[in-house]
């Protein structure tokens, strides 16, 4: 702001003089102080831009597109993936299948720990059985994904989490993953709006508000705004 005022000093003086406003331009001494202040704050500006400034290309590069694609596939409203190029839709469903397989491996890790080593012949038998079970499990996972893909899409205004809570039994393998991916906000804008709303509610004249009342007022204002 200081740099903008100094750069546009003469145009600002002309505008303020022409319109006879009550706003006064800084004096010559104040402009000199602003120049010194700009020099003093220049390192702070560089650090701020370095830590917080991002170009649009950098933001798009850091965006977790794979995460968003899986979340879209697990949303019963948009699981037809019309927003994804046709050539990439198979890769998205392959990612969903691999996600279920990884969850299965993580769930089986505690059961694999043993205190004593069985004989070699038993090890061979267990290996054969585990391979057979693993193949059946993979087939079961793929069938689960196919059954979910065969389900009809729901209306765009419907709640996907309500759908998953209703059909969690028939799609138990996907239900927990869907709740995890769909519960993650796609943007921080709603949270930032709530912070701004809380700033309007908690003011100097209302500093005696308890935290419970602040939460209630924020929730009520947010709900009323959503209904409008």
Q: Per-residue pLDDT tens for 139-185?
A: 788 888 999 999 999 998 888 989 998 888 878 888 888 888 888 77
For residue 124, the model assigns a pLDDT of 55
The pLDDT value recorded for residue 19 is 78
Rg value, the chain, Cα: 30
Given this model, what pLDDT does residue 186 score? Answer: 64
DSSP H or E segment with residue 171? none
Residue 182 near residue 75, CB atoms below 8 Å: yes
Low-confidence spans in the chain with pLDDT less than 50: 111-115, 125-126, 129
Stated length of the chain: 228
Residue 144 · residue 177 · CB < 8 Å: no
Would you put residue 55 in left (φ > 0), alpha (ψ -120 to 50) or beta? beta
Output the pLDDT for position 184: 75
């Amino acid at each position: 702001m200081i740099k903008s005022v100094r750069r546009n000093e003469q145009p600002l003086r002309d505008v303020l003089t022409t319109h006879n406003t009550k706003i006064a331009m800084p004096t010559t001494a104040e402009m000199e102080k602003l120049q010194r202040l700009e020099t003093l704050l220049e390192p702070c500006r560089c650090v701020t831009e370095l830590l917080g400034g991002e170009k649009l290309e950098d933001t798009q590069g850091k965006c977790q597109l794979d995460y968003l694609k899986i979340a879209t596939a697990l949303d019963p409203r948009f699981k037809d993936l019309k927003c994804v190029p046709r050539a990439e839709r198979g890769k998205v469903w392959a990612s969903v299948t691999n996600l279920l397989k990884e969850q299965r491996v993580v769930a089986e890790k505690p059961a694999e720990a043993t205190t004593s080593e069985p004989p070699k012949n038993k090890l061979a038998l267990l290996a054969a059985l585990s391979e057979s079970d693993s193949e059946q499990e993979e087939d079961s996972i793929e069938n689960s994904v196919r059954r979910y893909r065969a389900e009809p899409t729901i209306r765009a205004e419907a709640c996907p989490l309500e759908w998953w809570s209703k059909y969690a039994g028939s799609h138990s393998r996907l239900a927990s993953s869907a709740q995890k991916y769909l519960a993650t906000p796609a943007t921080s804008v709603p949270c930032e709006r709530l912070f701004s709303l809380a700033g309007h509610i908690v003011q100097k004249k209302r500093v005696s508000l308890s935290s419970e009342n602040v939460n209630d007022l924020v929730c009520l204002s947010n709900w009323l705004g959503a209904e409008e």
